[in-house]
Structure 1
Amino acid sequence: MKIGILGTGHIGKTLVHRLSAAGHEVKVANSRGPETIGQDVLSSGGRAVAASDAVRYVDALILSIPLNRIAGIAPLLAGLPEDMVVIDTSNYYPLRDEKITAIENGAVESLWVVEQIGRPIAKAWNAIGSDSFARLNTLPGSPNRIAIPVAADRERDRRVAMALVEDTGFDAVDAGPLEQSWRQQPGAPAYCTDLTKGEMPRALEAAEKERLPKRRDLAVAAIMERIGGGGKNPTADVLVQINRALFM
């Protein structure tokens, strides 16, 4: 499959590695230009390109950028084929993204993204920590293989996103339509708690929408106190322990 990826952060970098290693033809872009994408990102076969090239002539496009930059890429997506699958990995963190009124007032993050870019999406890879994603992939059928929820409205989007999740080394779990994707947002039991395929449906069902923002912010505060600032990402053991204690 031909895949474009926008973003070379922690999740984007691992996506390039895994999907290239799985045999997909991967193009990747960032906001600074292809010459700034290092060999550490491309070592498994991905190709650095300009953002305008990453979105063209691909079967699937993965958005791995902060949520507050989503609206800015809408012009890049205008006029692209309707059947092209777009997969979003972002999450809303007001400390980073600044406050977005619609989401603060209860809008589902995925539906807000759809409004910004004017086309359907699938939601995937947003509910796993970057350290777990980078290190804890396993082969299908492995004991305690970690699961990743996937939400989408169109069947093709769901099918493609779930297949690609499997290609990155995790079990894909159908999380329903986008209107229910709040169940995999920060603060929910399914979010960054490294659950198995058997455990994930129960966690999705147990989510309480009105409690997500407070739990999300408590987790951020606990993680910052534990690891400090400086832009560091928490390791899997720290993130999962804190999130399981607060979300489940």
Structure 2
Amino acid sequence: MTDIKRVGILGAGKVGIVLAELALKAGYEVRISGSGEIAKIAMTIDTLVPGAIAATNEVVVQNSDIVLLAMPLSRFKNNLATLLDGKLVIDAMNYWWETDGIREEVLDSTTSSSEQVQAYFKGATVVKTFNHMGYHNLQEDARPAGDAKRKALLVAGDDSAAVATVANFVDTMGFDTLIASNLAAGIMAEPGADMFGASVGKAVLQQLVDDFPESTLGKQISAQK
């Protein structure tokens, strides 16, 4: 399991800021980038998440043990495909028409969005999580381990070691996890699925997984209980 001490976040919007807050509270060193000049981003970061370090995408990636993608989904290909080579990456992005535009211009309809992110960043290992819960719930519902009111997040990925590392990271951020053993299963957390928007405990999340039609994936979903 990878030892994570430094967290990088690409995207300084609402989701990116909340994830930075949670990571700082969990004791991680946090770097974050956004669109625009570094000086302007730094002012925003200093105000909203004091303690996080504003930097360029390249500097964030170079100085992070794990990288969280929290930018608008339509912009991930604005980065070089080699940017994340060798990195463990969390895809926290979702398609959202108001910011991303026409879906067919952003995504191939035959696979999940995270599979397309992985296909682009071929040299990275992509795991999907932090997707189905709204940023306000992420901010308000984080709880210590063992808390009866703790919520759960789906963690989906093809690499079992990477998924285990990410699940441990999510736990330190304040959430239980439900593991899906392939990245394609992340479609269950995309907009339009029953899980999307859910801020629920592990038992209810498991029921949403059990109720999801496997035919929708185009391949077998193996959810690890």
For the 8 Å contact 1:6–1:30, the answer to whether it is kept is: yes
Which protein has the bigger helix share? Answer: 1
Q: Distance in 1 between matches of 2:47 and 2:172?
A: 20
1:162 matches 2:167 = yes
Residue 67 of structure 1 aligns to which amino acid in structure 2?
L
Task: Pick from 61, 72, 90 the counterpart of residue 66 of structure 1.
Answer: 72
Task: Pick from 126, 132, 137 the counterpart of residue 142 of structure 2.
Answer: 137
Shift of residue 210, structure 1, vs aligned partner: 7.8
Q: Distance in 1 between matches of 2:15 and 2:215?
A: 27
Pairing 1:12-91 to 2, within 5 Å after superposition: 12-37=16-41, 38=44, 39-43=46-50, 45-75=51-81, 77=83, 80=85, 82=86, 84-91=87-94
Shift of residue 96, structure 1, vs aligned partner: 3.1
> Any gaps of 5 or more consecutive residues in structure 2?
218-225
Q: Distance in 1 between matches of 2:47 and 2:207?
A: 37
For the 8 Å contact 1:187–1:211, the answer to whether it is kept is: no
Q: Distance in 1 between matches of 2:31 and 2:8?
A: 5
Paired residue secondary structure (1:74):
coil
Q: Distance in 2 between matches of 1:148 and 1:110?
A: 16
Shift of residue 130, structure 1, vs aligned partner: 1.1
Shift of residue 206, structure 1, vs aligned partner: 1.3
Residue 40 of structure 1 aligns to which amino acid in structure 2?
T
Moved more, 91-100 or 63-72: 91-100
Residue 42 of structure 1 aligns to which amino acid in structure 2?
V
* Deviation digits for residues 46-73 of structure 1 (CA, Å, limit 9, x no counterpart): 1111221001032111110111011112
Residue 25 of structure 2 aligns to which amino acid in structure 1?
A
Moved more, 91-100 or 49-58: 91-100
* Deviation digits for residues 77-99 of structure 1 (CA, Å, limit 9, x no counterpart): 16x3x2x2111101123443222
Paired residue secondary structure (2:166):
helix
Q: Distance in 2 between matches of 1:180 and 1:104?
A: 16
For the 8 Å contact 1:189–1:204, the answer to whether it is kept is: no
Moved more, 124-133 or 180-189: 180-189
User: What corresponds to 2:153 in structure 1?
Assistant: 148
Q: Distance in 2 between matches of 1:107 and 1:72?
A: 20
Runs (4+) off by over 6 Å:
209-212
Q: Distance in 2 between matches of 1:137 and 1:55?
A: 26
Q: Distance in 1 between matches of 2:49 and 2:82?
A: 23
- Cα RMSD of the aligned pairs, angstroms, is 2.2
- Number of paired residues? 208
Q: Distance in 1 between matches of 2:47 and 2:133?
A: 21
TM-score, length-scaled by structure 1: 0.77
TM-score, length-scaled by structure 2: 0.84
Identity %: 24
1:200 matches 2:205 = yes
For the 8 Å contact 2:89–2:125, the answer to whether it is kept is: yes
